[in-house]
Structure 1
Amino acid sequence: MNAENVQVDRVLYSSVVYPHNYGFIPLTLCEDNDTVDVLIIMQGEKDDKIIAVCADDPEYRHYNDIKDLPPHRLAEFRRFFEDYKKNENKEVAVNDFLPASDAFEAIQHSMDLYADYIVETRELEAVVMSDVRK
């Protein structure tokens, strides 16, 4: 991996750690102008989080929906999201954990937002370039 592909998004200023691997879904865009995070909460602007499992992980590969996870695991997720931005003086409201079907809808919606954003950006770039050429 090239260093140019690595970017620090956030430094956690406490002993809070991500309970599992945390990432994003490429080619998606949420209303907060960021990709859809993988690991579902709302904070001000809608900021979906997708909880996913690795299909190759023997501990989790048999889970198909959030309701299949043990209640303690969900409590860990909830607690993490309640705490992880406290030292940034940001309040986080953790709402319900939604089923996989809602996650797929959120991903599709964010992919549509991303596509619209790309089209709008290219149209704006075309207008700017047209003005520059004049």
Structure 2
Amino acid sequence: MIPNFKSHPWHGIAVGPDAPNVVTVFVEIVPSDTIKYEVDKETGFLKVDRPQKFSNIIPAVYGFVPRTYCDEEVKKLAIERGSTDVTEGDHDPLDILVLSSHNIHSGGLLMDAIPIGGFKMIDKGEADDKIISVLVDDQVYGHIRDISELPKAEVSRLQHYFLTYKNLPFEPANCRIDEIYGADHAKEVIVASQKDYAKNYGG
């Protein structure tokens, strides 16, 4: 009998045959979570990163794109777009947020998403892009193809979360968003992160 091993969610799952137009997403956190989970890079299991100490609630499903990595190519893109103080990528898989009208109850699952834009986030000198996407075939969001089609209030809500989710009272913020970009640049970031992955891990 052949053993049935579970694939590592970062290294063992394909980004998808139509990437970067449609990408596989491994979900780590959902809006009902009061604890921030992330994949343990060594084992592939979800682990507790930290309890959410304050009122920051993730506004949509959040995870990463498998077989991506944010290093020199992602840093280069940030610098080309004007973020001259960037020193490196954040050395993690590429973060992605998925908009959906459905109540997804837990992480640890896969879904297909269409990138529509993103935030050029700089965190302590690291390029830490946040890709914004929509769930394939979602009844409310599934037709959207660019972040410009979202209501401005929705974009502001997402932006506010990423600017505040690491904040501590009475301490200055260490991150900023230099640019809100559309679908075309989001796909460039995905491709850059795939190149960074290939350089560091092969493939």
The residue aligned with 1:34 is: 92
For 1:49 and 1:113, the matched residues in 2 are separated by 16
Structure 1 residue ranges (4+ consecutive) displaced by more than 6 angstroms after TM superposition: none
Distance 1:102 1:58, change over 3 A: same
After TM superposition, give the deviation of residue 4 of structure 1 in Å.
5.6
| 2:59 maps to which of 8, 13, 19 | 19
Aligned equivalents of 1:70, 1:91: Cα separation in 2: 27
Distance 1:58 1:99, change over 3 A: same
Q: Which has the higher contact order (CA 8 A, sep 6+)?
A: 1
| 2:186 matched residue in structure 1 | 103
Give TM-score scaled by structure 2 length: 0.54
* Identical positions, percent: 34
Matches within 5 A, 1:17-96: 17-30=57-70, 31-39=89-97, 40=119, 41-43=121-123, 44-87=125-168, 90-96=173-179
Gaps of 5+ in 1: 120-134
10 and 98 in structure 1: CA distance in 2 versus 1, 3 angstrom threshold:
farther
Q: Distance in 2 between matches of 1:20 and 1:68?
A: 17
Runs of 5+ consecutive residues of structure 2 not aligned to the other structure: 1-5, 8-42, 71-88, 98-118
Q: Distance in 2 between matches of 1:8 and 1:110?
A: 25
- Higher share in helix: 1
**C-alpha distance in 2 between matches for 1:107 and 1:22:** 16
Question: Deviation digits for residues 25-62 of structure 1, max 9, x if unmatched?
Answer: 00000121100000222221111110011012111011
Larger Rg: 1
Deviation at 1:15, TM superposition (A): 1.1
Q: Is the Cα–Cα contact under 8 Å of residues 147 and 182 in structure 2 kept in the other structure?
A: yes
**Cross-structure match for 1:118:** 201
C-alpha distance in structure 2 between counterparts of 1:117 and 1:70, whole Å: 38
TM-score, with structure 1 as normaliser? 0.80
Provide the aligned C-alpha RMSD in A.
2.2
If each structure's strand is expressed as a fraction of its own residues, which one has the higher value? 2
